[in-house]
Structure 1
Amino acid sequence: MAGRTMTRKAFNSTMAGIQDAIAYAEGDESRAGRVIRIKPVDVKAMRSATGLNQHEFANVSGIPFNTLVKWEQGQREPTGAARLLPHVIAAEPRKVMRIARTVQSVNPRT
């Protein structure tokens, strides 16, 4: 009997979460659990602060070149964890580039 109660509780909790997500997606921000907004950053200025051109920066940072270009042109914005990356680089460009270079390895093509 206890197994069913826990299963029903888990189901109800999951359904409540889904209903909140749907309501939020439809514009009801009062149903959001926690919303974190990361302010936009001028990606081109951030890259310029490193002293690197687009190709160099893309190679060092691991950001695909085409993605970087689209970010700089305002055609796309970073999503997910990548939204924070430009802010970190803008705050400490030299330090981030130094760290990026130390963690990279080059694998020769065979």
Structure 2
Amino acid sequence: MTLNDKELLKRDANRNIGEELLQSIRAIKSGKVGRTTPVEISPIAEARHKLDLSQGEFAKLLGVSPRTLQEWEQGRRQPSGAAKSLIAIAIKRPEVLKEILAA
């Protein structure tokens, strides 16, 4: 149903927008509003987050394009070779890669 301008003004005349916003913020903070389905994070994305790197930074570390990394994180492609080894290290021992980045 589409309301015309006059109908919208009539509807909104009795609204307390400030109170509605406050209720929404309280609901979000209490956790009553949000995702209803859990989001599964790929091990590659988890490794990147452990290192606190952006996709671009992590891709550069692995020697691949950011687009390739996105494909891996979203499960559309799988890494192979040296990238797979570096990702395994990032998952099991992120501090090792942090050391390398700091040097």
Normalising by structure 1, we get a TM-score of 0.47
Larger CA Rg, structure 1 vs 2: 2
The TM-score with structure 2 as length reference comes to 0.50
